[in-house]
Each structure stands twice: as structure tokens, then as C-alpha cells.
């Protein structure tokens, strides 16, 4: 079991990563003393598959609970769904000491976090992430979010959970697409901050792709440590330290958008974005070609695409201007100077960015 602390003074919390640990969640919550009545936000699949285990663990610790299921889609990150959920929390809350459990992937985590941030001006909540992406990324750091028709994640607040409880057992039912999405973020952490993790991913591919719980715990532990460290130092993204977590995302988001959010999913697009970013790092002389090839090879090893198909270059370039890392005409890209060493570079020439995107076609 890995235990990691996100150090934020009074708002500090633990991340627990383990195998088959859901039976212990009730006990852990009892010790945390954050409430006696759990409002669990989840979806039907997760409730049917894992709900009984969770329920048993809470019951054994004397915690009262109710399940609230939402639709299994990004559409659940809406003001409409949040409004329904908040009213249900209020119904459940009468004469109780309620806290919220986000039991699901990033969609449920973002929605539940938002509900917790506004109900009674802030209610305790914990994250029980069930996707690889949520365990290594979205459940940590306190970014809560809803989408608007005009854009993703436009509504939300920074609001920290009281605990992140990652049981790798849940990952057994993820399909390859969902695993690939998470792996892209895992590779991202390795490339920007952890050369050891990078080598581990290279050498332990077989174990990881066969779902070894030990290997999964290792990589989730490593990524959680990195995200905990960065978000401890720059909780609200005001110091720019969190920026490096956007590695591969500027071009990645542009690829997602230019493909109409259909051609490539987030993880695939980030994989391609990371290859463009390391190629650009090589063009700028920050790294040797061998290093960029090594990154590309790792991305390929985990089944993510390494060649961009059927998305026109000019559409990607146009879309990348909308990235939030652009202010006015100045751009700011996360590149690398070695494996495990991110570097923020400003005002990169457009022709070089084009060349980097072209290098993945
Ligand atoms: N808050 C943050 O810091 C942050 C960071 C990154 C991404 N996000 C958000 O996270 C969301 C994406 O998260 P995601 O990739 O986890 O997607 P998701 O929550 O939509 O989950 C993907 C799919 O996996 C299913 N699923 C979940 N757990 C499962 C399990 N154990 N077994 C089988 N199926 C399971 C879900 O029902 C869903 O169909 C996006 O909305 C994104 O904006 C937030
Ligand atoms: Zn991402």
C-alpha cells in the first residue's frame, strides 16, 4: 500500500493506493471523522459491479449511505445534473452529518467535487477513483468542474477532497481504450518529472499490460506522488508550477478539437501531442533525437497511435491558438530538456510548431 500526503496546511489530505482495499474504506473514514452519512455519486455500472463491496465496508464502520447514480457520459458534468444532485443531497441531509463520495472516473469526480464545493458553502468529500486516469490525475488536486455548451470545464472551483482512495482492483474492468487514456497521462508524468518511472514503464510493459496489481500500484503511486507535490506547491495554478502537467496537451487538445472530438480520444491525442512536443524539443536543440525517439517508442509500446491520420494540419494549427496557454500572440509550450525534466519555452516560432506537428503526420 502507498500512502502519500498532499501538503496544504489545514486542507492536507492523504492519497491511499492499494490492492483490494475497499473493505477498509469504512474504517479509514471513521478515523477521518468527516461525517456519518455518505452520499455516494456514481453510475449504474459501478454501482452494480462494486456497490455491494463499498456498501459493506461503510456499513461495517457504522456509516449510513445512499447511492445516487448519474448517466454514464460527459453530459453528467452539466449544471442540470449538478442541480438535481444538489437537491438530492439536501433531501438526504436532514438531521444528518453528510459527506460526499465521488465513486467513478473523472466525470463523476469533477461533478461530485463541484457539488461538494457549493453545497452548504462546502461539504466534505472524498474521491474513490475507478479509472486509471482518475487515479493518477483527476482525483488529485481539487479541480472540480462542469461543462457549458460553449466549452468544457468552464464552471468550477478549486476544492480539495479529504481523501483519495485508489483501489487498483477497480481497474480490472476497464477496457483498452480507457486504460490507454490513463497510460498517456502516466507517460506524461514520467517524461516531465520521473526518469525512473520512464524506465519502469519501458521494462515492465508486460506486467502492466497483463494487469499486474503490483506494477499498477507502483505507477499509480509514482504519479500520485508527482501530482501531490506539484499541487501542494501550486494549489490554484497561480505560480505556473502546474503548467508542466500540460505537457503534450497544447497540441493534444488541438488534435482532439480538429478531429471533432471523434477521431482521437483525449489519451490518444495527448500521446500524439507529446510526440510533437519532444520532436519540437529536438528541433530546438534541447534534447538529442535519440531521446525523442525513446519517448515515441514508449507511446507506441502502450498501444497509442504515433501517426496522425485524417486531421488536416491547418485545422490543428488554428485550434492550438485557442489553448489557454496562449495569451495574446505569445505562446508558452511545455517541452523537455531530458527525460524527467520539463522546460517551459515561450514564443516558439510558428514554422517550428508546424514542423513539429508535421513530423507526426
Ligand atoms: N479535475 C481534474 O483535474 C481533471 C484532470 C483530467 C481530466 N479530468 C476530467 O476527467 C474526465 C475524464 O475522466 P475518465 O477518463 O475517467 O472518464 P469517465 O469518467 O468518463 O470514465 C470513462 C468510462 O469508464 C467507465 N468506468 C469507470 N470506472 C470503471 C471501471 N472500474 N470499470 C469499467 N468501466 C469504468 C465510466 O463509466 C466511463 O464510461 C473528463 O471529464 C475530464 O475533463 C479532470
Ligand atoms: Zn489530460
- Angle in degrees, CA 7, 42, 173, rounded to 5: 90
CATH number (domain holding residue 80): 3.40.50.1970
pLDDT of residue 303 exceeding 90 = yes
Are residues 99 and 185 both part of a single domain? no
| Same domain, yes or no: 148 and 191 | no
Based on the fold, state whether residues 299 and 329 are members of the same structural domain.
yes
**Would you state the pLDDT for residue 330?**
77
State phi, psi for 187 to the nearest 5 degrees: -60, -40
Q: Domain count for the chain, please give it.
A: 2
Q: Are residues 192 and 135 in the same domain?
A: no
Q: pLDDT class for 325, splitting at 50, 70, 90?
A: low
Residues whose CB is less than 8 angstroms from the CB of residue 130 and which lie 6 or more positions away in sequence, other chains included? 46, 50, 103, 104, 105, 170, 171
At 139 the pLDDT is: 98
Q: Let me know whether 82 and 166 are in one domain.
A: yes
Give the mean pLDDT of the chain: 94
Q: Rounded CA gap, 204 and 138, in Å?
A: 24
Whether 347 and 331 have beta carbons less than 8 Å apart is answered as yes
The mean pLDDT of 112-133, rounded to a whole number, is 98
- 166, 211: one domain: no
- Give the residue among 117, 124, 165, 120 at the shortest CA–CA distance from 36: 124
Q: How far is the CA of 269 from the centre of ligand 2 (A)?
A: 9
DSSP sequence for 189-228: HHHHH-HHHHHHHHHSHHHHHTT-HHHHHHHHHHHHHHHH
Helix axes 350-358, 249-258, angle to 10 degrees: 70
CATH number of the domain enclosing 213: 1.20.1090.10
- The set of residues, in sequence order, having a beta carbon less than 8 Å from that of 325 and lying 6+ positions away, is 243, 246, 250, 331, 332, 333
* pLDDT reading at 60 higher than 80: yes
CA dist 242 → 252, 344, 358 (Å): 17, 11, 28
Structure-block grid coordinates of residue 214: 503490483
Calpha distance 66→33 (Å, rounded): 18
Range with lowest mean pLDDT among 14-23, 166-175, 260-269: 260-269
Residue 327 has pLDDT above 60, yes or no: no
User: What range defines the domain where residue 142 resides?
Assistant: 2-173
Pocket of ligand 1 (CB under 6 A): 43, 45-46, 72, 74, 77, 104-108, 110, 130-131, 133-134, 137-138, 141, 143, 145, 152-153, 170, 173-174, 178, 181
Check residue 318 and give its pLDDT: 83
| Mean local confidence (pLDDT), 196-208 | 97
Q: Quick one: CA torsion of 122, 127, 133, 137, rounded to 10 degrees? A: 60
Domain boundary among 173, 193, 214: 173
Question: Chain centroid to CA 273: how far?
Answer: 16
Is residue 13 within 8 A of residue 2, CB to CB? The reply is: no
Among 111, 145, 173, which residue terminates a domain? Answer: 173
Residue 266 annotated as catalytic: yes
CA angle, 144 as apex, 139 and 145 as ends, to 5°?
120
Across the range 152-160, mean pLDDT stands at 95
Better-predicted residue by pLDDT, 327 or 304: 304
Alpha helix ranges (H) inside 25-70:
25-32, 44-60
* Whether residues 91 and 225 fall in one domain: no
Domain's final residue, options 125, 146, 173 = 173
Q: Are residues 110 and 214 in the same domain?
A: no
Confidence of residue 241 (pLDDT cuts 50, 70, 90): confident
* Angle (CA) 15 16 20, round 5°: 150
Q: Report the distance separating Cα 79 and Cα 138, nearest Å.
A: 19
Relative to the CA of 181, which ligand 1 atom is closest?
15
For residue 270, report the distance from its CA to the centre of ligand 2, in Å.
Answer: 7
Question: What distances in angstroms separate CA 67 from CA 37, 60, 134, one per listed residue?
Answer: 11, 17, 20
Residue 53 appears among annotated catalytic residues: no
- Identify whether the C-beta of residue 342 lies closer than 8 Å to the C-beta of residue 278: no
- Quote the pTM value: 0.95
Tell me how far apart the 2 most distant CA atoms of the chain are, in Å. Answer: 64
What pLDDT is attached to residue 331? Answer: 84
Residue 213 phi, psi (nearest 5): -65, -40
Amino acid at each position: 500500500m502507498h500512502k502519500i500526503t498532499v501538503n496544504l496546511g489545514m486542507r492536507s489530505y492523504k492519497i491511499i493506493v492499494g490492492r483490494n482495499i475497499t473493505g477498509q474504506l469504512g474504517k479509514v473514514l471513521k478515523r477521518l471523522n468527516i461525517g456519518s452519512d455518505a452520499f455516494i455519486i456514481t453510475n449504474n455500472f459501478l454501482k452494480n459491479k462494486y456497490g455491494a463491496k463499498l456498501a459493506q465496508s461503510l456499513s461495517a464502520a457504522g456509516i449510513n449511505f445512499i447511492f445516487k447514480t448519474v448517466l454514464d457520459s460527459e453530459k453528467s458534468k452539466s449544471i442540470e445534473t449538478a442541480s438535481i444532485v444538489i437537491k438530492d443531497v439536501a433531501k438526504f441531509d436532514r438531521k444528518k452529518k453528510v459527506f460526499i463520495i465521488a465513486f467513478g472516473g473523472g466525470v463523476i469526480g469533477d461533478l461530485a467535487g463541484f457539488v461538494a464545493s457549493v453545497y452548504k458553502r462546502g461539504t466534505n468529500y472524498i474521491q474513490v477513483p475507478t479509472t486509471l486516469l482518475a487515479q493518477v490525475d483527476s482525483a488529485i488536486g481539487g479541480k472540480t468542474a462542469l461543462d457549458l455548451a460553449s466549452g468544457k470545464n468552464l464552471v468550477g472551483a478549486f476544492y480539495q477532497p479529504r481523501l483519495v482512495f485508489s483501489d487498483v482492483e477497480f481497474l480490472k474492468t476497464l477496457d483498452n481504450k480507457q486504460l490507454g487514456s490513463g497510460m498517456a497521462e502516466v507517460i506524461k508524468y514520467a517524461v516531465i518529472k520521473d526518469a525512473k518511472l520512464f524506465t519502469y514503464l519501458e521494462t515492465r510493459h508486460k506486467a502492466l499490460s497483463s494487469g499486474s496489481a503490483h506494477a499498477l500500484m507502483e505507477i499509480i503511486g509514482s504519479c500520485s506522488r508527482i501530482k501531490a507535490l506539484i499541487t501542494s506547491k501550486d494549489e490554484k495554478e497561480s505560480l505556473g508550477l502546474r503548467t508542466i502537467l500540460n505537457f503534450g496537451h497544447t497540441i493534444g487538445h488541438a488534435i482532439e478539437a480538429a478531429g471533432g472530438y471523434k477521431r482521437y480520444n483525449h489519451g490518444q491525442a495527448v500521446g500524439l501531442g507529446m510526440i510533437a512536443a519532444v520532436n519540437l524539443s529536438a528541433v530546438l536543440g534541447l534534447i538529442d533525437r535519440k531521446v525523442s525517439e525513446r519517448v515515441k517508442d514508449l507511446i507506441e509500446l502502450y498501444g497509442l497511435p504515433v501517426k496522425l491520420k485524417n486531421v488536416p494540419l491547418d485545422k490543428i494549427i488554428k485550434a492550438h491558438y485557442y489553448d489557454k496557454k496562449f495569451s495574446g500572440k505569445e505562446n508558452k509550450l511545455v517541452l523537455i530538456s531530458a527525460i524527467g525534466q520539463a522546460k517551459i519555452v515561450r514564443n516558439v516560432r510558428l514554422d517550428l510548431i508546424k514542423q513539429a506537428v508535421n513530423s507526426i503526420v
